[in-house]
Amino acid sequence: MATPRKSAQQQAAREKALAKAKELTERHEKLIELAADFFQRQEQAELVRADAKKKADALLAKAEEDAQDAVRGAARTVRAMLDSGEPKSGVSARLGLSAGELKRLLDLLSEDEKKSSTENNSPAAPEAADRESQNAAV
């Protein structure tokens, strides 16, 4: 049998190199597609987290607002008990509040009344001040 010509050997080596390069190129392209998918999913995860954080912050803000409204309602109840003639010590004992806690609730109402009187410029502010001074005397 005759030995293959040098040009035939070169052609076979070239074809083998091209086949290997094609295989490497296909693998490289597949890895690029997978990497792009990875980065897309990472970005999607960050968007989901950011959206969830925004919703959680809004929910917490609403909950805090509702809780403050409830505390103000409780303070109005304390004020109503005092307005009925019950002494502060009796209200504190009945509700299980310390004197400081009772004062904080009443101060909260006073702050709200001051804010609303300055916002509305209504004549209710002197009446509120009169009630405060009456309650302070008790």
Question: Tens digit of pLDDT for each residue in 74-101?
Answer: 999 999 999 999 999 999 999 999 999 9
Q: What pLDDT does residue 116 have? A: 81
Q: What pLDDT does residue 8 have? A: 86
Count of beta carbons in the 10 Å neighbourhood of residue 43? 10
pLDDT band of 4, cuts 50, 70, 90 = low
Q: What's the distance, Cα to Cα, between the start and end of the chain in Å?
A: 125
Long-range pairs for 49-52 at CB < 8 Å and ≥24 separation?
Answer: none
d(CA 124, CA 113): 9
d(CA 110, CA 129): 8
d(CA 11, CA 19): 12
For residue 117, pLDDT beyond 90: no
Give the tokens for residue 96.
């299980």
For residue 135, pLDDT beyond 50: no
d(CA 36, CA 131): 70
d(CA 50, CA 31): 29
Q: Is the dihedral of CA 119, 123, 129, 132 positive or negative?
A: negative
Compare 62 and 119 and report the one with higher pLDDT.
62
d(CA 7, CA 13): 10
Mean pLDDT computed over 38-46: 98
Q: What pLDDT does residue 138 have? A: 41
Q: Give 117's contacts (C-beta < 8 A, 6+ positions apart).
A: 124, 125, 128
Q: What pLDDT does residue 123 have? A: 52
Q: Domain ranges for the chain, please list them.
A: 12-137
Task: Tell me the pLDDT of the chain averaged across its residues.
Answer: 87
CA-to-CA separations, 105 to 3, 90, 137, in angstroms, rounded = 106, 15, 17
Q: What pLDDT does residue 7 have? A: 87
Least confident among 14-18, 39-43, 126-130: 126-130
| % the chain with pLDDT above 70 | 83
Compare 115 and 37 and report the one with higher pLDDT.
37
